[in-house]
Amino acid sequence: MRIAIDGKRYYLNSSGLGRYSRSLVDHLLGLEDAKDLDICLYRPKGEVKFQPKSHRRLTELTADYLLPGHIGNALWRFSKLPTLINSGSYDLFHGPSHVLPGRLECPSVVTMLDLIFMRYPQYFRAWDRNYYRISFSRSARLADHIISISEATKADLVNLFGIREEKISVIYPGFDDVFTRLPRNRLDEIRKKYELPRDYVLYVGNIEPRKNVLELAQAFNSMRESSAIDKDVHLLIVGQKGWFYKDIFDGIETLPCREQIRLVGPVYGEDLAGVYQMARVMAYPSMFEGFGYPVLGAMRQGRPVLTSGISSMPEAGGDAAHYVNPESLDDIASGLCKILNDESYRQELIEKGTRHAEGFTAEKMAKETLEVYRKLA
């Protein structure tokens, strides 16, 4: 079975889209019952951030951008890529990041992570919002089957795009082997490399308004001002700049506790696993997610989690997270105080979270995706 996959996000994206693509491709190639599977990974020519390991059943093909910027990106995917796919005699094409190319001669699968631009249009520029609406809805209609990474996203596809439920399979994302507990000497290296404080509340994710990063910082500030937590506890914000990040940075700069807030930037791989593992608690009060990757990342590393009780976060956290109203600073602050100050409750969350995270593996995700391929190819 020959599968073509749009690999642009695999090579170039460091957030959820890229993690999903890399985890899926790498683990598909490792499945015992997929030895008849040959994967061709397409990407634009140029420098890459991530490179797959060499594998006898993996072929990498590149194609030039026709123009720079948004227009060039669209032309690559909707003009250049379909020509290459249709000349390749593939059994199936998979678009792992919301979008299919132009019309294809083989069956197609598209993965939909979220429809955030429909739920929170104010967080997107008009051009981007319209491009996403047109390209996502078109891809959902054209695809022979859709993979959704959560029941929440499936419900949005049905309610907002009018997609039939039976056309959608929910396959939860899994985690790579890099997310394993690290020894003390490796943790010490990571702490020194990033100059991490000894005691910190951790946020991991893009820095943008819908993630509630500024509100988390404000809740942290209120805890500090009321002496509800130890004065040595810091807030560590890990992630790359997202939409309208400057407003968030400016807001943080005005807080009295600014010296106790660390903006680390993006951290990857085993280093990120270590940053999770050394946190007192991981706080993720996001307003909306296709799936809460950081929730399970923290649980995998044995850390308690505070997150929002809305969108897909309850799917990611199960019965193992402390849920809050993301629109209430008091709720966020009181939840963090409980986890930081009540050791028995903290240990209860850690034990539940460790068990819960065991059900979300990259191998399971790859196996379920392979089943979709076999039904269509």
Is the Cβ–Cβ distance between 23 and 365 less than 8 Å? Answer: yes
The CATH architecture assigned to 2-174+361-376 reads 3-Layer(aba) Sandwich (3.40)
- Residue 358 CB burial class (10 angstroms; 0-12, 13-18, ≥19): exposed
Q: What is the mean pLDDT of residues 170-185?
A: 88
- Res. 34: pLDDT tops 80: yes
Residues 4-14 pLDDT 10s: 999 989 998 88
Q: What is the pLDDT of residue 296?
A: 94
CA dihedral 164, 165, 171, 172 (to 10 degrees): 110
First to last CA, the chain: 7
Q: How many CB atoms lie within 10 A of CB 371?
A: 12
Chain segment 284-327, per-residue pLDDT in tens? 999 999 998 899 999 999 999 999 999 999 999 999 999 999 99
8 A C-beta contact, residue 344 and residue 8: no
CA–CA dist 104, 107 (Å, integer): 7
- The band of 15, judged by pLDDT with boundaries at 50, 70 and 90, is confident
Domains 2-174+361-376 and 184-357 share a fold: yes
Helix 329-341 to helix 343-357 angle, to the nearest 10 degrees? 100
Mean per-residue pLDDT, 194-221: 96
Q: How confident is the model at residue 65 (pLDDT cuts 50, 70, 90)?
A: low
Instruction: Indicate if the pLDDT at residue 68 is higher than 90.
Output: no
Residue of 269 and 141 predicted with greater confidence: 141
CATH architecture of the domain with residue range 184-357: 3-Layer(aba) Sandwich (3.40)
pLDDT at 69: 62
Q: Are 266 and 375 in contact (CB under 8 A)?
A: no
Please tell me the predicted confidence (pLDDT) of residue 13.
Answer: 84
Res 64: pLDDT: 74
Query: Phi/psi at 60 (nearest 5 deg)?
Result: -110, 125
CA atoms of 252 and 338, how far apart (whole Å): 23
In sequence order, the β-bridge partners of residue 42 are 6, 61
If you count them, how many residues does the chain have? 377
How buried is 348 (Cβ within 10 angstroms: 0-12 exposed, 13-18 middle, 19+ buried)? middle
Mean pLDDT of 135-153: 96
- Per-residue pLDDT tens for 343-377? 999 999 999 999 999 999 999 999 999 999 999 98
Helices (H) and strands (E) in the chain, counts: 16, 13
Determine the average pLDDT of the residues in 263-270.
92
Residue 73 — very low, low, confident or very high, per pLDDT cuts 50/70/90?
low
Tell me the average pLDDT of the chain: 93
Distance CA 5, CA 37 (A): 12
Residue 70: per-residue pLDDT: 61
Q: Which residues pair with 261 in a beta bridge?
A: 235
Q: Residue 198: pLDDT above 90?
A: yes
Residue 339's nearest CA partner among 278, 254, 277, 282 is 282
Q: What is the pLDDT of residues 222-265, one digit of tens each?
A: 999 998 899 899 999 999 998 889 999 999 999 999 999 999 99
Q: How confident is the model at residue 79 (pLDDT cuts 50, 70, 90)?
A: confident
What is the pLDDT confidence band of residue 153, given thresholds at 50, 70 and 90? very high
Please give the pLDDT value at position 66: 61
Using CA atoms, how far residue 360 sits from 76, 169, 257, 364, in Å, is 34, 16, 37, 7
From 289, 280, 330, select the one nearest 308 (Cα to Cα): 289
Instruction: Check if the beta carbon of residue 40 is closer than 8 Å to that of residue 5.
Output: yes
Identify the burial level of 186 via C-beta atoms within 10 angstroms of its C-beta, where 0-12 means exposed, 13-18 middle and 19 or more buried: middle
Instruction: List the chain domain ranges.
Output: 2-174+361-376, 184-357
pLDDT of 80: 78
**Cβ-based burial of 364 (10 A; exposed 0-12, middle 13-18, buried ≥19):** middle
Angle between helices 269-277 and 184-194 (to 10 degrees): 100
Q: Give the whole-angstrom CA distance, residue 298 versus residue 339.
A: 14
Other beta carbons within 10 Å of 101: 24
What CA–CA distance (Å, rounded) separates 28 from 51? 16
